[in-house]
Amino acid sequence: MNYYIFTFGCQMNVSDSLWLDRSLQAMGLKPCNVEEEADIFLINTCSVREKPEHKIYSLLGRLQEYIREKPHVFAGVGGCVAQQVGMGFLERFSFVRLVFGTDGLVMVPECIRRLLEDRHLKISLLDFQDHYPERPECWPDSSPAQAFVNIMQGCDNFCAYCIVPYTRGSQKSRSSQNILNECFELVSRGCKEITLLGQNVNSYGQDKNGSEISFAELLKRVAGLPGLERLRFTTSHPKDIDREVIRAFGELPALCPHLHLPLQSGSDRILASMGRRYTSGDYTHIVDCLRTSCPDIALTTDLIVGFPGEKDADFQRTMDLVEKVGFDSSFSFKYSDRPGVPAEKMHPKIPDEIKADRLDRLQSLQGSLTRDRLAQRVGQEEMVLIESQSKKQGPPGTVSWTGRDPGGRLVHVHLPRDRDCTGEVLRVAIVRAHKHSLSGEVVTC
Ligand code: SAH
Ligand code: SF4
Ligand code: F3S
């Protein structure tokens, strides 16, 4: 039996799909790279904006056509849209025989076994658990150089625009012992870089089950694992980032000098109606403290344009703050109404042409900031963790590879042919800055 996994959405979905992949392989099922060879499709969905949600329906429509010829083939739909639409998928698409939310993920491998045994069965796994559902691991002999480790599930913040607290449930921190054990297992199998994942990692341990250590203490303990070269985490909320975490950037050698700190808007009025619980002044204060603790820190962010009631002056404040902070890069989105969230009922809605124009202006400002920030790296030497071969052409006898520097910037290097460099950490002299990346040459010692 072959399976094919489609993954949409954030790194937590990527991490969930990777776990599913390991578990299905351990059951003896085979992953396939070609859709036509699949007997089981698993679709891990995202509903953060309308567009990714629509993609799921067009994918299911396409699969329905294709599966018509192959009645034994079935699909499971999981993740945030599944949690939202639930049984609707089972009713609307006969070939969908499994729906699962994030808390149900842990039971998916066992349910697939049952679905293979009984062709008439359909299963729904949509209940939320009141604790972090620990997932059994089947560790392969060696680990990839980079890995994600979940430290929590869900979110209690209910930002006015956001569907995540409804699709991922309330915040549940995972036990620090289990987190440390997983990190230890990964590092002992050769993992060099760990990214700790959660919707709001800075409130780790503060939920109702929380008799846990603080996030800063967790960082210290993970960073102290012998053999771990790089530690990252995402995502942070500005209202919860504390002094200890800011200090950690200057104190823990393994902690990479990069923070993704979603700003969303530069207008205090809009931040208040988003329910973000910080002001633009609080944000710039955090940035100043971060740069004091770690002068070289790379800062990236998320921004929303056209939130209900956003005036030109509010948008201008976002532009001003983005320029003032000088983000290395940012993800920016047009506000998108989500069913059942408070902002759905907020007015006035901003017309799409205005949102598109604001997004354009914001992205072109970010483009020039990114170019400036990248140009500053030229002439420096960076340790680059090589991730994969790139499509770029290298000089004869070489192959072009891409990796990331500690700040998370993409770096291209040419390396001799006939060598798999995945997972190597190389000293690279940066020689050129491009629009979104850097190029460098390996420094031979
Ligand atoms: N937990 C993370 C982000 C989750 S969603 C955090 O709190 O930062 C990722 C990003 O999607 C958000 O930061 C926000 O910028 C964007 N986003 C969320 N809901 C949105 C909506 N309804 N419309 C447009 N963008 C949205
Ligand atoms: Fe959504 Fe806000 Fe929670 Fe992030 S912190 S997941 S934006 S509700
Ligand atoms: Fe999307 Fe769910 Fe992540 S809505 S962004 S997959 S938490």
Note the pLDDT tens digit of each residue in 60-79: 999 998 888 898 999 999 99
What is residue 54's predicted lDDT score, i.e. its pLDDT?
Answer: 87
Q: What is the pLDDT of residues 116-165, one digit of tens each?
A: 999 999 999 999 999 999 999 988 889 999 999 999 999 999 999 999 99
Domain boundaries, the chain: 2-125, 146-373, 381-444
More confident call, 254 vs 208: 254
Closest CA to 227 of 281, 282, 187: 187
Q: State the ligand closest to the CA atom of 333.
A: 1
What is residue 211's predicted lDDT score, i.e. its pLDDT?
Answer: 74
Atom number, ligand 3, closest to the C-alpha of residue 8 = 6
Atom number, ligand 2, closest to the C-alpha of residue 264 = 7
Q: What is the CATH number of domain 381-444?
A: 2.40.50.140
- pTM of the entire predicted model: 0.96
Residues 230-253, mean pLDDT to the nearest whole number? 97
Q: Note whether 287 and 278 are within 8 A (CB).
A: no
Q: How far is CA 134 from CA 19, 131, 177, 294, in A?
A: 12, 9, 12, 35
H or E element, residue 178: helix 176-188
Closest-CA residue, ligand 3 atom 7, reads: 164
Q: Please give the Cα distance from 370 to 318 (Å, whole number).
A: 16
Are β-strands 230-234 and 258-260 bridged in parallel, bridged antiparallel, or unpaired? unpaired
Residues 251-256, mean pLDDT to the nearest whole number? 98
Choose which CATH entry (3.40.50.300, 3.30.200.20, 3.40.109.10, 3.80.30.20) describes domain 146-373. Answer: 3.80.30.20
Q: How far is the CA of 395 from the centre of ligand 2 (A)?
A: 46
Q: How far is the CA of 427 from the centre of ligand 3 (A)?
A: 35
Q: Note whether 221 and 205 are within 8 A (CB).
A: no
Q: What is the CATH number of domain 2-125?
A: 3.40.50.12160
